[in-house]
Structure formats: structure tokens, C-alpha cells
């Protein structure tokens, strides 16, 4: 039995969960999320305001999906009640970011600024021109956008310049040594 899959999911007071076959819709104060789950997984709502994720059979694919589906539903419930956020930090002389509406403009050492358009449901806030906060209700979308922003200029190992997650440790390398 999956250790993660067998744990029940508590539903907070302001969150409602609708189960229509394999379609699960979660509504909360921050928004609504819906997802279709595979037929190998059964999702049931208990009377004590909890959700249980169970396998239909003991096949290998069902066992593989059990913990994943439980985590996806738990992330949906947490997202509509509290939301998710990722923080990025820009390091480098002259490197900065600007956010206007759903557009993010990054000046990170290229000849032209890099402009990115944020999808609906994702908000980007810039503090002190070098710290970004990406927030939204969908954990997967927040993580993907944060990774795409980081990929514009990943931190390099010699001077440490680039875009990194807040608190990320960048392994530094020694540069060339001069002739003696």
C-alpha cells in the first residue's frame, strides 16, 4: 500500500469538492481548479469532510498512480485555500526585472531585454528590482513559470551571476590562475 496514497486529505471549511466520475473540481476562496484522473484511481468523499484516494485494482500502473493522484488532489485543495508561491533572486551588475500587468521584462545581460507574458492565474511581483515572487493557485503552473524564468539566465559557477531560487546554493568554481 502506498504510504502517501492511503493518507486522507482534510478539506478546509471554505473549500468545496465536487466529484463527477473521474473529474474532480475544487472551489475555494482563491479560485477553482479541475482535473481529470485516470480510471485506475477511485476518489471518494467521506462524511467527516475528508477525501480518500483508492486503487481500483492492484496492477502495477494503479500502484504507480496511487500516491501521485493523492498528492495532486492535496495540492489542488491547498492551492485554492492558501495558494503557492516561488521566490527568485537576480544577481549581477545591472541585472533587473520589471513587472507590468501580465508582462515581465528581464534585463539580464543580453543585448535586448527578455519579455515574458504570464499565463492567466499566475501573478508576478518584483521587489527591489532583483527579487521576484511568482504566485498562483496551481502548484504545477507556478513551478513551471519559475523554472522558465530561471532558464533565461541560470546562475553561472564562476561569478554566480544569473537568476536563482531564493536560498539556492550555487557551487562556485575557481577561475583561471595566471602564469607565475
Cut 0.75: pTM above it: yes
Query: Band of the pLDDT at 101, cuts 50, 70, 90?
Result: confident
Query: Band of the pLDDT at 6, cuts 50, 70, 90?
Result: confident
The pLDDT value given to residue 180: 67
Q: Which CATH class is domain 84-165?
A: alpha beta
Question: What percent of the chain stands above pLDDT 70?
Answer: 98
For residue 170, the Cα-to-chain-centroid distance in whole angstroms is 21
**For 149, which DSSP code?**
H
Q: How many angstroms separate the CA atoms of 63 and 158, rounded? A: 44
Strand order in the sheet with 131-136: 122-127, 131-136, 84-91, 162-165
Residues of the chain with CATH 3.90.930.12: 9-81, 84-165
CA angle (143, 141, 4) in 5-degree steps = 70
For domain 9-81, give the CATH number.
Answer: 3.90.930.12
Q: How many angstroms separate the CA atoms of 103 and 165, rounded? A: 20
Query: Band of the pLDDT at 64, cuts 50, 70, 90?
Result: confident
CA angle (12, 39, 20) in 5-degree steps = 45
**Pairwise pLDDT comparison (42 vs 5), residue with the higher score:** 42
pLDDT digits (tens, 9 = 90+) for 114-165: 898 998 889 999 989 889 999 999 999 999 999 999 988 888 888 888 898 9
Q: Is the distance from CB of 108 to CB of 114 less than 8 angstroms?
A: yes
Residues 46-50 have a mean pLDDT of 85
Amino acid at each position: 500500500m502506498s504510504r502517501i496514497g492511503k493518507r486522507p486529505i482534510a478539506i478546509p471549511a471554505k473549500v468545496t469538492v465536487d466529484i463527477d466520475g473521474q473529474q474532480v473540481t475544487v472551489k475555494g476562496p482563491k479560485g477553482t481548479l479541475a482535473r481529470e484522473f485516470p480510471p485506475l484511481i477511485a476518489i471518494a468523499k467521506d462524511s467527516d469532510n475528508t477525501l480518500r484516494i483508492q486503487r481500483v485494482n492492484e496492477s502495477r500502473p494503479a500502484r504507480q498512480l496511487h500516491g501521485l493522484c493523492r498528492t495532486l488532489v492535496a495540492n489542488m485543495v491547498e492551492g485554492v485555500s492558501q495558494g503557492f508561491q516561488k521566490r527568485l533572486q537576480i544577481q549581477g551588475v545591472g541585472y533587473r526585472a520589471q513587472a507590468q500587468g501580465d508582462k515581465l521584462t528581464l534585463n539580464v545581460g543580453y543585448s535586448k531585454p527578455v519579455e515574458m507574458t504570464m499565463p492567466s492565474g499566475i501573478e508576478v511581483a518584483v521587489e527591489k528590482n532583483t527579487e521576484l515572487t511568482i504566485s498562483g493557485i496551481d502548484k504545477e503552473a507556478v513551478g513551471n513559470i519559475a523554472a522558465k524564468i530561471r532558464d533565461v539566465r541560470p546562475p553561472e559557477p564562476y561569478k554566480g551571476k544569473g537568476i536563482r531560487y531564493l536560498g539556492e546554493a550555487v557551487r562556485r568554481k575557481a577561475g583561471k590562475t595566471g602564469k607565475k
